[in-house]
Structure 1
Amino acid sequence: MKRLLLGALALFITNAGFAQYTNESKFKQLKEELPTPNVYRTGSGAPGPWYYQQQADYTMEITLDDNKQRISGEGTVVYTNNSPDPLNYIWVQLDQNVRAKNSETQQIKKGSISDKMSYKSLEYLFYDFDGGLKIEHIVDENGKKLPFYINNTMMRINLPKALNKGESFTFGMKWWYNIQERAKYGGRSGLEYFEEEDNYLYTIAQFFPRMAVYNDVEGWQNKQFLGRGEFALVFGNYDVKITVPSDHVVGSTGTLQNAEEVLTKEQQNRLKEARKSLDKPVMIITESEAKKAEKGKAKDTKTWHFKAENVRDFAFASSRKFIWDAMGVKFGDRTVMAMSYYPKEGNPLWEQYSTRVVAHTLKSYSKYTFDYPYPTAISVHSDRIGMEYPMICFNGGRPEADGTYSATTKYGMISVIIHEVGHNYFPMIVNSDERQWTWMDEGLNTFVQYLAEMEWDKDYPSRRGPAYKIVDYMKSQPTEQVPIMTNSESILQFGNNAYGKPATALNILRETVMGREEFDYAFKEYSRRWMFKHPTPADFFRTMEDASATDLDWFFRGWFYTTQHVDISIDNMEHFQFDSQNPETNSKADREKASKQRFIGDMRNDTALAGKTVVEQDESMRDFYNDNDEFTVFESDKKKYNDYIESLSDDEKKLLNSGLNFYEISFSNVGGLVMPVILEFTFSDGNTEVQHMPAQIWLKNEDSFTKVFAFEKKVTKVELDPFLETADTDRNNNYYPPQQEPSRFELYKRQQRESKNNMQKAGK
């Protein structure tokens, strides 16, 4: 019995020892972090044979009250359960409730007191806007009231009986809410008031109760909307009628069904002409027509009817101020309508650029993903906003009152249009969960936005994408960063983390790690696999590897799961040449080297002791060693050398006589993030050579390595990351011989910054 106990104890100790070991290698696989593949989502990153997603089809009648600035709605939802699970209740998103006076968002706002502060700092204490959806009723298809429960921005509807696989449930709803003024209360949608004409421009979204996602990953995605983490939504078909003042023009998700009722004959003809115009926009409503319309206010109403198929959301814009232009974009035998709606305040910028930018975005994004599948893509101009919905987006970028604008305004407008139209691809079609993973739509979209910007203008001043633009963020304090794989509500430095860093990571993957051909193929494969589906981060990571045969776990782990940064250092470089062992050559070289090594004492003794030493005064004190030193070559040395040469093979003789210069270079990983090592060697004749080493060079030692390089010519300089492609945060250790890159500083007393509106300064 004692022997058995000792054996069991030994086994326990052995197992405990193994349990304590953790593999902290930067190259270990992501298996611990990623969910186990299953019948819903495969190990390749593709949807599995049992993959499913729910469907929600909406029929709605919406009224915009221009006097009360209010939205009222009534409609039905047909919810289809395609999951294998019986559902006893369904969850609906009430995102407008974020604006309710008692919302959780208002409760968690923070503030502090300082000597000098503005009302803005404490306005949350005095928030008095009567926001939020006012639910009048939820009923079944027979008009019977359904029990429901509202928890902040989520509403649970209790079903009369379990909804089984393949079954649908129809419910009706009636609601209303007050539209907030964006300039005062912020928000992704709302109204802009033009005091001079007493007019409004409405950009309306999150305006109806929207079905939450139910899937194999999280069950119900009913995480509360706090204002930052955007939306997880269900695909479906929409049939929506929007009643507005009769002098309003409406742009919307979907296709207009009753053009003959809401457009003049001339406008209908212009719209048909625009469909055929593939090189420039056609004006449907001109600026002069819009100016005339905004001077009056109609008392009657008009109903615009739109239908949209297989979309995850619905939004619209309405105003009597709208100028409207459009053009066609061909995809095979289909023509997509690129359109813009904007007030006169947007000109001249919007008339010149907006619709052309929309068309360009569709062409550019389609090249890297899939052909744009929807019938329209609309850009609407509003104040200080950029927000996306299927087929329609709301964008800022407004010139000065005199029509001039700065370069920042121009390129900011073009960028926001590209970005928001691009969101049709991510997440409107490749429908990731924005409530959980902001980077899956913002980061991927910002990356493709960068590609589209480069195709717009080779000198385009992109804010994000190139590696060097993320350096300041990457080297910021650890307390100022969180990993990319962080929930939306917990992200610090939202723009850098969710937009800039993932976009930069993908750009580095494309340009430095994988190469454009392999990356583009894999990225397109991911986009096509997950069109009109709900991908997760694991699906993206796995597909990029699966379609490229490239192990990227080390890259995704470092860039997406840590806050480490890139800082690779050249620590030392040694220059070597072959020792030919030729005694005559070596002796000459050694003698020359010794003659150059003059020590201060010897130099002074040459003068102080000249002619005074014993040997100089007494010749009898000289012997063999006074006439032969360590550098003297004897016949025996020559014979030994000749015998050595004869013992070498032809290849060895060739290498020995090559005259190659060998350089042993030592590197260290200061920042912690393993990355490829790119070196540019400059030679004595001024020519250069670039060598690339993949990140796997760090496999055996993630902290440091030494590598030998051979060249016919002598190296005068080595530069690490010469083309700024790895986001190396400290370039002062990127050179050998070492050199310092200057940092800029300015005097504490700053002068008033000059206006950057050079167009206005030039009087243009």
Structure 2
Amino acid sequence: MAVRKSLIRSLALAAGVLCTAGLLAQNAAVTVTPIPQPATDTGIPFAVPHTGAVSTPSAPDAWGGIRSDSAPTLSDRVVQYEIEAKLDPDKHTIEGKQKLTWRNRSQEPVRSVYLHLYLNAFEGEGSTWQSELRHSGKSFRSGVAIKEGEWGHQELRSVTQGGAKVEWSFVHPDGGPATDHTVVKLDLPAPVAAGASTTLDIAFFDQLPRVMARTGYFGSFHLVGQWFPKIGVLELPGERGATAVRWNVHEFHKDSEFYADFGSYDVRITAPKTYTIGATGELQGAPVEANGLLTHRYVQHDVHDFAWTADKRTAKPMVSTWTGAGSPEVKVTVLYPPEFEASAAPAMKAAKDSLTYFSNTLGPYPYKTLTVVIPPHNAGEAGGMEYPTFITAEGFDKVEPGTVAQYALDFVTIHEFGHGYFYGILASNEFEEPMLDEGLNDYWDNRMARAANMTVGLSTPFLKKIGFAPTMKPFDIERAGTPRDEPADNVGDNAYERLQGMNPIYSRTATTMRDLEARIGKDALERGFKEYYRRWKFRHPSVADLREALAEGTGQRAVVEQVFANQIYKTSKIDDRVAKLTSEEELPLTGTRVGKDGKWVEDKQEDVDKKVEEVRKAWDKAHPDAKPGTGPYPYRTTVTLRRYGAPVPQTVLVKFADGSSEKVVWNDDRAWAKFTWVKPAKAVSAELDPDRLHYLDVSKLDDSHTMKADTSASRRWGSEFAAIIQLLFSFIATV
């Protein structure tokens, strides 16, 4: 989906003049930066805006190296947030204070830092996000728009470093419009020395927008994501293709999501006591009441975002627990409005099933909580989103088996949970390499659906009553939804510069990985992904790092590298076809020959025909039960194949009238190939890719030929259910 993210930050101050204690002490020794005279920026560059899949693997020590199970913390905690947030649910505003403690991992002093103010994407039509939406001529997901009086924004009210005022200015790392205010540069009074930390005290104010994309309000419901000033990522040489220290801090684009350092979050949320609160992390004790308000404190370490929800209409929460090998006991909570009570139990089941599947097939779930939020009616754009330990799902008033509603609820819940791994634990850069989250997650979700024998119900309660209840398999849905004939964008490209939009990131990545699995085996590819999890949990992998983990984990380097070269770093069409099938008897031929007496004789056509007729009659008499297509003379069968795309290893299966068959492998880069057999039976059919290894192939209808006309394929009702598939993708796709 694209229903995602945010975890909550926590704590920490340093000691001395900038100081604090607590969570920082858990991390490692913190060097305190004194406050000298103001300095100017040394010019650390931004990551380039027009970027895509990284081809060079990261250095072994990138992001602190592989996280061992004996490490004192799950992640190398770079940043710590201590936040106080007070919600005014009538005005839909948040008064916020935060202490942001950040560690300079580089070997050079840092004089300026950069913060994301994501909420400013919704301040007006001049933001990068809104400009891209307007210029694309398309809507975001379901097309909800912000009306007058419903815009949202984030305001920095004060920023200090050790008591000294910090000056700031808006910047545009991707060359966006001057009216975009989603990235701000802070010029520090005191440089942060190499390896040292600093703490910024920030007062901020949020005006939430009417929810039209991921975050905002509708009525009393509030989904609060991308809501606090969030520091960018300082990348070092050898990390995700960087060759020098750089700030990775992209503007908030319409078709992109988030990227941040791991850290700790300690968040206090104050709201009226009639409001139910749900958030990233663990609730610390009972909420504290004062003046009719309750303050709820949530803490979570080793995450890179934080989100929360507040609503006075929430029904009694559904709560359960889950346990699994290698994971702590997990408290699972489903928050839902009264009108969607029917969705609560299915969402709980899907969440717990996901915990089991992902922890068994990738690696343990490391956190103690999981909160699933079902938004109310008219707030659906808050659904289908993921943040660490906190996801939002879809809501339906009826959830009947075999219907679109049942599939959408199950799959969205699974998908958003899966982001807890591919976006949360394996914290890739979703601006630059979204396939590592959206694409890989979509593949693993479909893998889970296949393992559970889920089928995609394409019906509704009414259609079921009249007997119309078609189904499709999950990977067939993905194949139908991906551009195959004219794919325009590399799967590995960034999120915000795509001719065909984000949908192919989901469907084409999932289909590519499914095809790779079909070639090398399900178990082999699972070993590769477990190795990916082992190496890159609580770090920030690139596409090249995924490639190397799969190549080494599967033991199939040549195949993995071929797939990445043809389908990740570039997009190649797969289009192999059975162009022609012939199968003809090898009959005696006319002409001259040397007879038994040594003299030349001529076999005339009349004589040959007579001889053939005599032989046929004798054979038929001797074989009264012979199958059609068999006889006294052998058949020469020829299959001609054509290739209109990138080479992939293909198998051709030819079936014959006597029940026998022949298989041959075509595994070279020729534009065509021809295979011939001489057998005592006529061919019945020739089929390319009989095991359906290549779902990326443009059409499976041209993969076979029969000697006898067969129109069943053209009569298939529904074909690829194109209209319904588009409906499904409106539920489960779009970043």
With structure 1 as the length reference, what TM-score do the two structures score?
0.69
SS in 1 for 2:357: helix
8 Å Cα contact 1:468-1:726 kept in structure 2: no
Q: Deviations over 1:377-425 (max 9, x none)?
A: 111001322110000011223226xx88981112111111111111100
1:76 matched to which residue of 2? 99
1:643 matched to which residue of 2? none
Instruction: Verify: 1:415 aligned to 2:407, yes or no.
Output: no
Change (3 A) 1:300 1:33: closer
1:556 matched to which residue of 2? 564
- Provide the C-alpha distance between the structure 2 equivalents of 1:504 and 1:112, rounded to a whole number of angstroms: 26
8 Å Cα contact 2:573-2:646 kept in structure 1: yes
8 Å Cα contact 1:242-1:304 kept in structure 2: yes
User: Which amino acid letter does the alignment assign opposite residue 195 of structure 2?
Assistant: G
- Provide the C-alpha distance between the structure 2 equivalents of 1:724 and 1:317, rounded to a whole number of angstroms: 44
Aligned 1:17-32 pairs, distance under 5 A? none
8 Å Cα contact 1:238-1:307 kept in structure 2: yes
Q: Deviations over 1:130-189 (max 9, x none)?
A: 42111110111x32211222232111112234323321111110111111222xxx1211
Alignment counterpart, residue 673 of structure 1, candidates 641, 646, 652: 646
* Residue 556 of structure 1: how far off its partner (Å): 1.4
Change (3 A) 1:358 1:676: same
Change (3 A) 1:463 1:447: farther
Identical residues among aligned pairs (%): 23
Change (3 A) 1:508 1:326: same
- Provide the C-alpha distance between the structure 2 equivalents of 1:88 and 1:744, rounded to a whole number of angstroms: 68
User: Which amino acid letter does the alignment assign opposite residue 331 of structure 1?
Assistant: G
Instruction: Verify: 1:192 aligned to 2:190, yes or no.
Output: no
Q: Deviations over 1:173-232 (max 9, x none)?
A: 0111111222xxx12111122xxxxxx111111110111112134521122112321111
2:12 matched to which residue of 1? none
2:205 matched to which residue of 1? 176
1:237 matched to which residue of 2? 264
SS in 2 for 1:331: coil
- Provide the C-alpha distance between the structure 1 equivalents of 2:581 and 2:514, rounded to a whole number of angstroms: 31
2:578 matched to which residue of 1? 570
SS in 1 for 2:407: helix
Q: Deviations over 1:697-728 (max 9, x none)?
A: 543x3422344568786542111123544132
- Provide the C-alpha distance between the structure 2 equivalents of 1:61 and 1:502, rounded to a whole number of angstroms: 40
* Residue 573 of structure 1: how far off its partner (Å): 4.7
Aligned 1:246-645 pairs, distance under 5 A? 246-259=273-286, 300-322=292-314, 323-332=316-325, 334-350=328-344, 352-382=345-375, 383-384=379-380, 385-399=383-397, 407-461=403-457, 466=475, 469-471=478-480, 473-477=482-486, 481-510=488-517, 512-550=518-556, 551=558, 552-573=560-581, 590=588, 629=603
- Provide the C-alpha distance between the structure 2 equivalents of 1:493 and 1:223, rounded to a whole number of angstroms: 21
SS in 1 for 2:698: coil
SS in 1 for 2:329: strand
Aligned 1:154-165 pairs, distance under 5 A? 154-165=183-194
Change (3 A) 1:746 1:40: closer
Instruction: Verify: 1:91 aligned to 2:114, yes or no.
Output: yes
* Residue 668 of structure 1: how far off its partner (Å): 2.1
8 Å Cα contact 1:464-1:470 kept in structure 2: no
- Provide the C-alpha distance between the structure 1 equivalents of 2:677 and 2:439, rounded to a whole number of angstroms: 38
- Provide the C-alpha distance between the structure 2 equivalents of 1:112 and 1:133, rounded to a whole number of angstroms: 25
SS in 1 for 2:95: strand
- Provide the C-alpha distance between the structure 2 equivalents of 1:355 and 1:566, rounded to a whole number of angstroms: 40
SS in 2 for 1:187: coil
8 Å Cα contact 1:467-1:725 kept in structure 2: no
SS in 1 for 2:153: coil
Structure 1's unaligned 5+ residue stretches are: 1-31, 194-199, 263-297, 580-588, 596-622, 634-658, 757-764
- Provide the C-alpha distance between the structure 2 equivalents of 1:130 and 1:455, rounded to a whole number of angstroms: 44
Alignment counterpart, residue 729 of structure 1, candidates 687, 698, 720: 698
- Provide the C-alpha distance between the structure 1 equivalents of 2:513 and 2:634, rounded to a whole number of angstroms: 39
- Provide the C-alpha distance between the structure 1 equivalents of 2:664 and 2:478, rounded to a whole number of angstroms: 22
Change (3 A) 1:692 1:367: farther
Bigger RCO of structures 1 and 2 (CA < 8 A, at least 6 apart): 2
Change (3 A) 1:408 1:631: closer
User: Which amino acid letter does the alignment assign opposite residue 210 of structure 2?
Assistant: E
User: Which amino acid letter does the alignment assign opposite residue 540 of structure 2?
Assistant: H
- Provide the C-alpha distance between the structure 1 equivalents of 2:646 and 2:149, rounded to a whole number of angstroms: 48
1:28 matched to which residue of 2? none
Change (3 A) 1:674 1:259: farther
- Provide the C-alpha distance between the structure 2 equivalents of 1:306 and 1:719, rounded to a whole number of angstroms: 59
* Residue 349 of structure 1: how far off its partner (Å): 2.5
* Residue 661 of structure 1: how far off its partner (Å): 7.8
* Residue 69 of structure 1: how far off its partner (Å): 1.2
User: Which amino acid letter does the alignment assign opposite residue 344 of structure 1?
Assistant: P
8 Å Cα contact 1:443-1:500 kept in structure 2: yes
- Provide the C-alpha distance between the structure 2 equivalents of 1:546 and 1:710, rounded to a whole number of angstroms: 43
* Residue 686 of structure 1: how far off its partner (Å): 4.2
2:25 matched to which residue of 1? none
* Residue 464 of structure 1: how far off its partner (Å): 8.5
8 Å Cα contact 1:245-1:299 kept in structure 2: no
SS in 1 for 2:427: coil
- Provide the C-alpha distance between the structure 1 equivalents of 2:716 and 2:135, rounded to a whole number of angstroms: 32
8 Å Cα contact 1:54-1:213 kept in structure 2: no
Q: Deviations over 1:12-62 (max 9, x none)?
A: xxxxxxxxxxxxxxxxxxxx98544564579xx9899xxx97711011111
Judge which range, 130-139 or 372-381, deviates more: 130-139
Change (3 A) 1:175 1:734: same
User: What is the total number of aligned residue pairs between the two structures?
Assistant: 587
* Residue 746 of structure 1: how far off its partner (Å): 11
2:4 matched to which residue of 1? none
User: Which amino acid letter does the alignment assign opposite residue 669 of structure 1?
Assistant: R
1:682 matched to which residue of 2? 655
- Provide the C-alpha distance between the structure 2 equivalents of 1:553 and 1:179, rounded to a whole number of angstroms: 46
- Provide the C-alpha distance between the structure 2 equivalents of 1:250 and 1:354, rounded to a whole number of angstroms: 18
SS in 2 for 1:492: coil
User: Which amino acid letter does the alignment assign opposite residue 668 of structure 1?
Assistant: R
* Residue 519 of structure 1: how far off its partner (Å): 0.7
Change (3 A) 1:662 1:180: same
2:17 matched to which residue of 1? none
1:55 matched to which residue of 2? 78
Change (3 A) 1:69 1:206: same
Change (3 A) 1:716 1:491: same
8 Å Cα contact 1:468-1:725 kept in structure 2: no
With structure 2 as the length reference, what TM-score do the two structures score?
0.72
User: Which amino acid letter does the alignment assign opposite residue 332 of structure 2?
Assistant: A
SS in 1 for 2:164: coil
* Residue 87 of structure 1: how far off its partner (Å): 1.8
- Provide the C-alpha distance between the structure 2 equivalents of 1:445 and 1:162, rounded to a whole number of angstroms: 40
Q: Deviations over 1:630-682 (max 9, x none)?
A: 7999xxxxxxxxxxxxxxxxxxxxxxxxx998755332212x12223133332
Structure 2's unaligned 5+ residue stretches are: 1-51, 69-74, 172-180, 458-470, 592-596, 608-632, 728-735
- Provide the C-alpha distance between the structure 2 equivalents of 1:392 and 1:341, rounded to a whole number of angstroms: 11
- Provide the C-alpha distance between the structure 1 equivalents of 2:407 and 2:476, rounded to a whole number of angstroms: 20
Instruction: Compute the RMSD of aligned alpha carbons.
Output: 3.9
Alignment counterpart, residue 152 of structure 2, candidates 118, 122, 131: 131
User: Which amino acid letter does the alignment assign opposite residue 105 of structure 1?
Assistant: W
SS in 2 for 1:74: strand
